[in-house]
Chain A
Amino acid sequence: GQQVQQSPASLVLQEGENAELQCNFSTSLNSMQWFYQRPGGSLVSLFYNPSGTKHSGRLTSTTVIKERRSSLHISSSQTTDSGTYLCALSNTGYQNFYFGKGTSLTVIP
């Protein structure tokens, strides 16, 4: 069955608003990654975060292993944040990732 579930599936924000993206997983994990994908583009890693909280600029990722969830918080959203955000987990050491279906974010000016 589905190992990684993301919510919401899509989100529209006014520029300057904050966003909270969720990722829930049904299996143990060895590695948790958040990726960003521009429409029609490749995937770019945002965070490696198997546990705890990490910050990068306006982005914050929090992973709580015992609750089997990870979140990505975007503060003060900008139009350039528009795109798809994907979480992916691996439960082995070989980086064979299972991806969620992604959250499509649109930020309007």
Chain B
Amino acid sequence: EAAVTQSPRNKVAVTGGKVTLSCNQTNNHNNMYWYRQDTGHGLRLIHYSYGAGSTEKGDIPDGYKASRPSQENFSLILELATPSQTSVYFCASGDPGNNNQAPLFGEGTRLSVL
């Protein structure tokens, strides 16, 4: 069964600390995405990837890095976490060759930066 799994599901971090959010997909999709969701803003694209070894900047990349070491895994890295990065983060995977199929989303990671 197709799936996107995020870990951790909840995270509390301190300002200035390093945070890594992980995402694993079993869909064999080339594309993977990281979004954040905030009240009043909807979902906004942070980084995305076309395949292993590739990372691209989305609409709000500042303060975030991404890593795609394999087809299955895509990480979002906050080197110096700030309270403004408190949010819910969603990972998704998709097949760009098939617009009939929507990207599949993970369950989300709720991050609080204190």
Contacts and interface: CB of A to CB of B under 8 A. Distances in A.
Interface residues of B, number: 26
Contact of B42 (A50, A90, A100): A100
A98 B94 CA distance: 14
6 contacts: A30-B99, A41-B107, A42-B90, A42-B108, A48-B100, A93-B96
Interface string A86-107: 1010100111111111100000
B74 interface: no
Interface of A: 4, 30-31, 33, 35, 41-45, 48, 50, 86, 88, 90, 93-102
Contacts of B105: 42-44
Nearest to A100: B42
A48 B40 contact: no
Interface in B62-114: 90, 92, 94-96, 99-103, 105-108
B42 A101 contact: yes
Contact of A35 (B58, B101, B102): B102
Contacts of A50: 99
